[in-house]
Chain A
Amino acid sequence: SQQGEEDPQALSIQEGENATMNCSYKTSINNLQWYRQNSGRGLVHLILIRSNEREKHSGRLRVTLDTSKKSSSLLITASRAADTASYFCATDGYDYKLSFGAGTTVTVRA
């Protein structure tokens, strides 16, 4: 069973705009990670945020974590066509097993 749920399921934006997607999960976590998957390819690790962190940045990515609401958000600023992909949140509990959500499909229009 999948722990996380992403919202929205799909997102279409213009190049240069920001893209925000959310992830909610059900049980306590150790870490939360975000991955990107280009069509038909494997997943690429983007960023990891620990349960005791509230915000993390990496380049054009900003991730927030609210453990009281069991939710996280991923913001991609100044989007580019190359950001077109599916984005997945993944949580791990104290057994370090990753559980993925169903993903948000982002389309960046030129």
Chain B
Amino acid sequence: EAEVAQSPRYKITEKSQAVAFWCDPISGHATLYWYRQILGQGPELLVQFQDESVVDDSQLPKDRFSAERLKGVDSTLKIQPAELGDSAMYLCASSSQDDTIHGYTFGSGTRLTVV
């Protein structure tokens, strides 16, 4: 079964350092999402891509976060500098046109701990 790949699985970084996460969506899925999930809460959308274009980044803290999907396939989410409050699970998901019916497919996430 097709999966959304994310790496790394876990990341520990010191505050003020830079950190990057990678996501490879299901082949052919045009839409890619990055969500942040704080422990005990539901996921919150950070950024949505349609192919290589950003559709929604209204919740992305742009002073420190950036996201790109240069060729419309895999994507990178970067935080620079990391802050203690950025500790969370970062989830990537992808969907096709049909997934308004079938739902999103999520990766296993990257657990970030900022110390």
Listed in ascending order, the chain A residues whose CB lies under 8 Å from chain B are 2, 4, 30-31, 33, 35, 40-45, 48, 88, 90, 92, 96-103
Contact = CB atoms under 8 A, between A and B. Distances in A.
A23 to B, nearest CB: 11
Contact of B42 (A45, A97, A101): A101
B103 A45 contact: yes
Interface in B64-111: 89, 91, 93, 100-109, 111
Given A42-B91, A43-B43, A102-B41, A33 B111 contact: no
B56 interface: yes
B100 A41 contact: no
A48 B102 contact: yes
B40 interface: yes
Contact of B101 (A41, A48, A97, A101): A48
Q: How large is the interface on B (under 10, 10 to 19, 20 to 34, 35 or more residues)?
A: 20 to 34
B45 A97 contact: yes
Q: Is the interface of A mostly helix, strand, loop or mixed?
A: strand
Given A40-B111, A97-B48, A97-B56, A48 B103 contact: yes
Contact of A45 (B44, B56, B89, B105): B105
Contacts of A90: 42
Interface of B: 4, 6, 33, 40-45, 48, 56, 89, 91, 93, 100-109, 111
A97 B50 CA distance: 12
Nearest to A33: B103
Contacts of A4: 42
Given A33-B103, A42-B4, 15 more contacts: A35-B106, A40-B109, A42-B93, A42-B108, A43-B91, A44-B106, A45-B102, A45-B105, A45-B106, A88-B42, A88-B43, A92-B100, A98-B33, A100-B44, A103-B42
B105 to A, nearest CB: 7
29 contacts: A2-B41, A2-B42, A2-B44, A30-B100, A31-B100, A33-B103, A40-B109, A41-B108, A41-B109, A42-B93, A42-B108, A43-B91, A43-B93, A43-B106, A45-B103, A45-B104, A45-B105, A48-B101, A48-B102, A92-B100, A97-B56, A98-B33, A98-B45, A98-B104, A100-B42, A102-B40, A102-B42, A103-B41, A103-B42
